[in-house]
Amino acid sequence: MKAVNATRSAVLHSDVRVARTLGEKTEGLLKSAPNDALFFETRWGIHTFRMKFRIDVAVMDDDMMIVALRENLMPGRFFFWNPRHKNVLELPAGTIQHTGTKIGDTIQIQ
């Protein structure tokens, strides 16, 4: 799948993996390359324990509008947000800055 910032007409990632099961969500990007991306739903935050690289994270509401961003989240960290929001997009570090993505932008997963 492809993740597009519809507000800025910018492709965030052209090959986003979607995690649907608990196992897929738990594994996340642990066995992935630093340039991989993952979309999933969770309300309780994420962690980067056992990760070997930094990631960018966008959290979206039900309308896929970004409500929280974290750039260059280092390994061994937590990232929490308001639990009413559940859509999460994990991206290669630097994607948010490179694309000019901001809170309030709308994301499309195609």
d(CA 28, CA 61): 20
pLDDT beyond 90 at 92: yes
Residues 6+ apart with CB under 8 A from 40: 18, 19, 20, 24, 25, 28, 88
pLDDT digits 0-9 by tens, 14-61: 999 999 998 888 888 877 888 999 999 998 899 999 999 999 999 999
The fold of 3-109 is Jelly Rolls (2.60.120)
Greater model confidence, 22 or 2: 2
All structural domains of the chain with their residue ranges: 3-109
- What per-residue confidence (pLDDT) applies to 31? 78
Decide: 29 and 55 in contact? Cβ < 8 Å.
yes
Q: Where are the beta strands (DSSP E) in 2-105?
A: 3-5, 10-13, 16-18, 37-41, 46-47, 55-60, 66-73, 78-79, 87-92
Residues 6+ apart with CB under 8 A from 68: 57, 58, 59, 81, 82, 85, 103
| Single-letter amino acid code for the residue at 33 | A
